[in-house]
Chain A
Amino acid sequence: MSTDLTFEQVVRDHQEMVFRTLLRLTGSREHLDDLAQDVFLRLYRALPSFRGEALITTYLYRIAVNVAQDEWKRRRRDRNSHVSLSDDTSGWEDRLAHPDRNAEQQMEESEFAQSVEEQLQCLSEIERTILVLYHQEERSYDQIAYALGMPIGTVRTHLHRGRKKLREGLQQRPTHERSATCTANR
């Protein structure tokens, strides 16, 4: 069917973005495939009401955030709120190393990235979502506001507050401690 083929192309074009957004929002690779499928199935069901007032990418971010919220709720229900990337056997932080740096710098950056990731998971859901959409996905205030259904001013406030909490959490965090302990003020 031509519609399905077209939609399959939409999935191909956006699948990587959906995977990496969900990965950072949920902080785990567990169920990532299922969650991404859920995002695209919700998009398919919502397409008849999609009036094209926004880019399909922005619409997808909105759905991805909703799916991540459902996943957070499910985890809370399961009383399994301890989120860590240590369950991941192929941590992406290890692959972020810059090729022209020496081994010590690479390790240091990798550890720092790990700390940022852990502190990110300690932020409130909305702060984490906005930080990910703004920095990782390079979305504008307008697009984030549309995706989250909130005023631009609120987006700015959460972004500023999230960054501040992240910095404070990293400042307070002892360097020898590498567990996913949240030290930032909630």
Chain B
Amino acid sequence: MHGESLNQQDLSPEAIEHLDQRIVRALEAQPKVSVPADFASRVASRLPAKHPTSVTSTHYGQGTMLIGILLTLAALVALSLHPTGPDRFGLLESMLFAQFLGLVVWFSVLRHNTR
């Protein structure tokens, strides 16, 4: 039997090669497994439930935008009541007015789209 030659410590190169081939053959042989027929469905039934997605809208952005509009409007009114000089007032007022207009347009579009 081939097995008896395994006891010998000093194998010839041919015997070592033969042994290596047998080892590789044994390793390459895939074990037969019997997978239960319902295995996949059992795994699927054990899958963790998905977290429900929140559908409540918060409108934090719209609130912030509204506050911004009110603040710019208040600043515009304050500047018109207390002028500090013709040049500086004109530049600051026009910047604030542009911001105010931009916010109003953006807010209107957002409200229109979320309806």
Contacts and interface: CB of A to CB of B under 8 A. Distances in A.
B31 A24 contact: yes
A166 B23 contact: yes
Contacts of B67: none
A92 B6 CA distance: 23
B43 A8 contact: yes
Contacts of A19: 33, 35
Interface residues of B, number: 35
Contacts of A113: 26, 29
Interface in B19-47: 19-20, 22-24, 26-36, 39-44, 46-47
B36 A170 contact: no
Contact of A112 (B9, B26, B48): B26
Interface stretch (A9-17, A55-63, A66-74): A9-17
Contacts of B47: 4, 7, 41, 44
B4 to A, nearest CB: 6
Contacts of B41: 8
A175 B6 contact: yes
Given A41-B46, A116-B26, A167-B19, A36 B31 contact: no
Contacts of B6: 170-171, 173, 175
A15 to B, nearest CB: 5
Given A15-B35, A16-B35, A8 B44 contact: yes
Interface of B is mostly: helix
A116 B23 contact: yes
A95 B32 contact: yes
B32 to A, nearest CB: 5
B59 interface: no
Interface in B36-68: 36, 39-44, 46-48
Contacts of A135: 24, 27-28
A136 B23 contact: no
A177 B110 CA distance: 82
A157 B7 CA distance: 26
B11 interface: yes
A11 B23 contact: no
25 contacts: A4-B44, A4-B47, A7-B43, A9-B40, A12-B40, A16-B35, A24-B31, A37-B39, A40-B43, A41-B46, A92-B32, A93-B31, A111-B3, A116-B23, A116-B26, A131-B27, A136-B27, A136-B28, A138-B28, A163-B23, A167-B20, A171-B6, A171-B7, A171-B9, A173-B6
Shortest Cβ-Cβ A-B pairs, 3 listed? A135-B27, A92-B31, A116-B26
